[in-house]
Amino acid sequence: MKIEEGARIVVEDWLHAVEGNYLFFITDETKRREAKAFENAAKKVGAKYKIVELKSDEIQGALTIEALRYDMAEADAIVGATNYSFITTDAVYYALSRGAQFLSMPMSTNDGRSLLEQDFLKMSPDEASRIGMPMLWQLRECNRIHVTTELGTDLYFNITDRFPGIFHGSVWQPGKCSSASFEVYISPIEYKTNGTLILDGSMGYIGLVEKPLKIIIENGYISDIEDTPDGRKLKEYMESFNDLEMYCAAEFGIGLNKVSECAGRSYIEDESTYGTFHIGFGRNLALGGSHNAAGHFDLVTHNPTITVGDKVIMKKGVAKGIKADTRDRFHLF
């Protein structure tokens, strides 16, 4: 896919931009080609736009984003298109509270191609909604998630009084956020996740694991990472934040994108992949949680069986109970 088509999908199909809308595109110095494509797509529909370029090595810490708090709040829609995600920052939470819409589109890739050139962006938001809404409604009605895999994952998440959401690219209401990661998500209670994760997919920005990796979570925090080459990479990455709160399991997500493959091309595609689940660690502000940290990253695992309350909503990576009429309930969540 050409980069211009990716930009068109974002502006027209996801932001639903029309003449007179004010779009705020936040990127970094590594993504000038994407910024130009976004500018041209905005011009085509007659939208007003502002493009801000940040330094790529300052994004995860959130201080640079904080300086844009009031500028973001004035926009109709904001696109976070830096290499690293900042959807979970206080500044985004503030902009949403003032009525802005936010699209998280972290642009980091591992294969040399722009995210805007990758075919997983072609996934239909309506199709993702039809897959995800039955799971979302079940999450609303229960207070516990149990996840297992045939490789040995066995995890419990407490979601009492936490509210789930769904991302499918498309922004749909002032004050709401969306993401290029197509997923159902919920922020579990931060200190009550327990069990064993056998990670066989992706380590977020780091890329794919070479062999399944055992990770222990106790009282919400990673307590042990298996000593393997992948385990050492993960430990080194987490230690680089110099923040113990990065070890907190702060998000639970289920991939909805049937075009995506968990192939290590990009973190956002990996966690979007249908038939996977992911755990987000670190900050979860703007995702329904209250946990702050120096950053946010996700671990992606294949073929989960997910039980919510006493109902199985996904069996070995296949969603259960998908109904054709879920599109009509889209506006309710």
DSSP 277-329: EEEEEE--TTTT-----S-EEEEEEES-EEEETTEEEEETTEES---GGGGGG
Between 323 and 81, the more confident residue is 81
Lowest mean pLDDT among 54-63, 162-171, 216-225: 54-63
Residue 202's SS3 state is strand
In the predicted model, is pLDDT for residue 41 greater than 80? yes
What is the predicted pLDDT for the residue at 312?
Answer: 96
Query: Are the beta carbons of 72 and 64 closer than 8 angstroms?
Result: no
**For 18-41, what is the mean pLDDT?**
95
Residue 332 predicted with pLDDT over 70: no
- % of the chain residues with pLDDT over 90: 77
Answer yes or no: are the C-beta atoms of 7 and 38 closer than 8 Å. Answer: yes
Q: What is the overall mean pLDDT for the chain?
A: 91
**311-315/318-319 β-pairing:** antiparallel
Which range (116-125, 236-245, 323-332) has the least confidence? 323-332
The confidence score (pLDDT) of residue 58 equals 64
Distance of alpha carbon 44 from alpha carbon 12, whole angstroms: 10
Mean pLDDT along residues 162-179: 90
* Predicted local distance difference test score (pLDDT) of residue 321: 65
Say which DSSP state 27 is in. E
- CA 25 to the chain's CA centroid: 18
Is residue 27 within 8 A of residue 52, CB to CB? The reply is yes
- Cα distances from 144 to residues 138, 147, 161, in angstroms, run 11, 10, 10
Cα torsion through 171, 172, 176, 177, rounded to 10? -20
Top-confidence residue, 89 or 319? 319
CB contact at 8 A, 250 and 186 = no
Alpha-carbon gap, residue 228 to 295, rounded angstroms: 24
For residue 185, pLDDT over 90 is answered with yes
* Bridge-based pairing state of the strands 213-218 and 101-104: unpaired
The pLDDT value recorded for residue 293 is 86
Rg, the chain, Cα only: 18
Q: Grade residue 237 by pLDDT with cuts at 50, 70 and 90.
A: very high
**Confidence at residue 62, expressed as pLDDT on a 0 to 100 scale:** 56
Would you place residue 59 in the very low, low, confident or very high pLDDT band (cuts 50, 70, 90)?
A: low
Query: Quick one: tokens of 15?
Result: 């932001």
For the whole model, what pTM was predicted? 0.87
Whether the per-residue pLDDT at 85 is higher than 50: the answer is yes
CA distance 217 to 275: 22
Per-residue pLDDT at 51 exceeds 60: yes
Distance CA 333, CA 326 (A): 11
pLDDT for position 63: 67
pLDDT value of residue 291: 83
Token pair of 286 as six digits: 């703007």
Q: Where does residue 245 rank: exposed (0-12), middle (13-18), buried (19+ CB within 10 A)? A: middle
**Strand ranges for 105-142 from DSSP E:** none
Give the H or E element holding residue 157. Answer: strand 154-158
Task: Please state which of the ranges 82-86, 164-168, 262-266 shows the lowest mean pLDDT.
Answer: 82-86
Say if residue 65's pLDDT is above 90. Answer: no
User: What are 314's strand-pairing partners?
Assistant: 306, 319
- Residue 181 has what pLDDT? 92
- Mean pLDDT over 286-294 rounds to 79
123: tokens are 């996934």
Task: Kindly tell me the number of DSSP H helices and DSSP E strands found in the chain.
Answer: 8, 18
